[in-house]
Amino acid sequence: MSQTALYHFLTAVPEAAAIWSALLVLALGLLAVLVARPDRDGAADLEPDPVDAEALRRADLARYADEVAVAAAGAARTARRRRERWLAAQDEAERAWAAFDEAESAARRLAGATALPAPRTPNTPSEYAARERWLHHAAMAAHWRGDLTARQLADVLAHRNGWDPRRHPAEQEIVLARTVRDGRRAGWEAAAERERLAWRDAELAADAARTLAAEAYAAATASRPVPAPRATSVTPVPVPATARGARWRPARVG
């Protein structure tokens, strides 16, 4: 009895060991598959979808194109405003030049009259008072016209800076005309400088508007989807009727 039990034990142990070895190998294989699969899934998740990447890129381009278009529209409005400002400055400079030219002509005309002898008048207090009244009245009229500043009018009334009421009105008129001419010249020079600065600002704004407009056009073009190339159909060349069924013949050797 004991020998039979020992025999069964010795024959069953190798079979059980083989079964357990097979189960262990199977378990290790399943474990290796489970361990390796998440890595593959993660790698697949990390790989970007080319369709999604292209859509994101075009969305970014479209957003950038909108931003540049807004900036280009603002630059165009700024350029229009500065151009209008320059045109207004140009008109002002032209009016200032016309006023100066008129004053220059008047000063030359009066300067030419100095060749004639001044009329003789009696040197009496009443004559000097009349000359002073004439000078004050002429200076006030020039100030109302905008030809004399308030400071210049104060100098005339206070008889400062070369204003002498004892001079003959003809001489006073020449001095007054030269003063008006010099003032209008200064006004024209200031207006010409303002016109030059306004033109420079308008040119800079126009350049900026053109640059942004070109950038907006390029961004809008880049954000559009590229159309798929059309399939070109090849038109078959008709075979002449005379060539149908013809057999190839070698060329004759002369």
User: Tens digit of pLDDT for each residue in 77-106?
Assistant: 999 999 999 999 999 999 999 999 999 999
Residue 43 lies in a domain: no
Would you give the distance in Å from CA 58 to the centre of its chain?
Answer: 25
The number of domains in the chain is: 1
Residue 209 lies in a domain: yes
Q: Whole-model pTM above 0.85? A: no
Q: Phi-psi bin for 161: left (phi > 0), alpha (psi -120 to 50), beta?
A: left
pLDDT in tens, 153-211: 999 999 888 888 888 888 899 999 999 999 999 999 999 999 999 999 999 999 999 99
Residue 140 lies in a domain: no
Report residue 106 as tokens. Answer: 């008047």
Residue 21 lies in a domain: no
Which residue would you say has higher pLDDT here, 123 or 220? Answer: 220
Task: Count Cβ atoms below 10 Å from residue 81 Cβ, excluding itself.
Answer: 13
Length of the chain: 254
78, 209 in Cβ contact below 8 A?
yes
Q: How far is CA 35 from CA 25, 28, 32, 38, 39, in A?
A: 15, 10, 5, 6, 8
- The parent domain of residue 76 ranges over 63-119+168-223
Burial (CB < 10 A; 0-12, 13-18, 19+), residue 150, is exposed
Report residue 135 as tokens. Answer: 């000078």
Residue 201 lies in a domain: yes
Residues 172 and 163: their CA atoms lie apart, in Å, by 8
N-terminal to C-terminal alpha carbon distance within the chain: 113
Residue 75 lies in a domain: yes
Residue 240 lies in a domain: no
Q: Which residues contact 108 (CB under 8 A, 6 or more apart)?
A: none
Residue 203 lies in a domain: yes
